[in-house]
Amino acid sequence: MKRSRRRRGTLLRIDDAGWVESALRTPSPNFDARPADTEITLVIVHGISLPPGRFGGPGIAALFANRLRADAHPYYASIASLRVSAHFLIRRRGELLQFVSCRDRAWHAGVSQWQGRAGCNDYSIGIELEGTDTTPYTSAQYAQLGCLIDALRACHPIADTVGHCDVAPGRKTDPGQGFDWARFRRRGGHPRHSPARVAVAVHTPR
């Protein structure tokens, strides 16, 4: 039987303050507190590149830091004033960046709902994959995403992993057809659209 490549991935650890110890920490001011006593039960996968279709530049981190210059690219004029963030970004080579503590509410989903529950930012973790809707995401990204979700599931009762398109249909399309949900599931990722189920290894962070 083929060895699971995911099992060879790096084990990630989330510290008591909600930060992945090995992630490149680039704090964003765009967050606030989750509502009291809100459990994190959802992971939302996004796709982003800035400028669109160009990979590896400083645009995404600049956007989340409110430092994107509106005149640096024609596309930036329409987004530079946005106040947005995500908890994580996984770059094309698998590099993991973290912008907001998992304990806090990042501003990634916007107007959204999942299974009848609105305001997904309240109870979700937002993970951006550097890419476009139509460009296949990389093996390094699938591997890092699997490791990250393993680490999140060890701390929180995550019941579902979905796309931004699933919680804001008609408004958002990411991560797009470039994200292979079947491949993600094969690596041990959470089933998409699964009925809520109890995670095996749940504990509450101190």
Contacts with Zn ion, residue ranges (CB under 5 A): 46, 164, 174
The least distance separating Zn ion from the CB of residue 30, rounded to whole angstroms, comes to: 14
The least distance separating Zn ion from the CB of residue 174, rounded to whole angstroms, comes to: 4
The least distance separating Zn ion from the CB of residue 200, rounded to whole angstroms, comes to: 28
The least distance separating Zn ion from the CB of residue 88, rounded to whole angstroms, comes to: 12
Q: Which is nearer to Zn ion, 34 or 46 (CB)?
A: 46
Q: Exposed e or buried b for every residue in 48-57, given b needs 16+ CB within 10 A?
A: bbbeeeebee
Q: Is the peptide bond before 205 cis (omega within 30 degrees of 0)?
A: no
Q: Which is nearer to Zn ion, 46 or 87 (CB)?
A: 46
How far apart are the C-alpha atoms of 183 and 72, rounded to whole Å? Answer: 36
Q: Which is nearer to Zn ion, 89 or 96 (CB)?
A: 89
- For residue 161, give the 3-state DSSP assignment: strand
143: left (phi over 0), alpha (psi -120 to 50) or beta: alpha
DSSP code of 20? B
Q: Which is nearer to Zn ion, 46 or 105 (CB)?
A: 46
How far apart are the C-alpha atoms of 112 and 77, rounded to whole Å? Answer: 25
Structure tokens at 72: 């640096």
Q: Which is nearer to Zn ion, 166 or 174 (CB)?
A: 174
Structure tokens at 141: 């990204």
Question: Bridge partners of 48?
Answer: 130
Query: Which residues, including other chains, have CB under 8 Å from residue 59's CB and lie 6 or more apart?
Result: 49, 50, 51, 68, 73, 76
The least distance separating Zn ion from the CB of residue 108, rounded to whole angstroms, comes to: 6
> Is the four-CA dihedral 140, 144, 145, 147 of positive or negative sign?
positive
Q: Which residues carry out catalysis?
A: 128
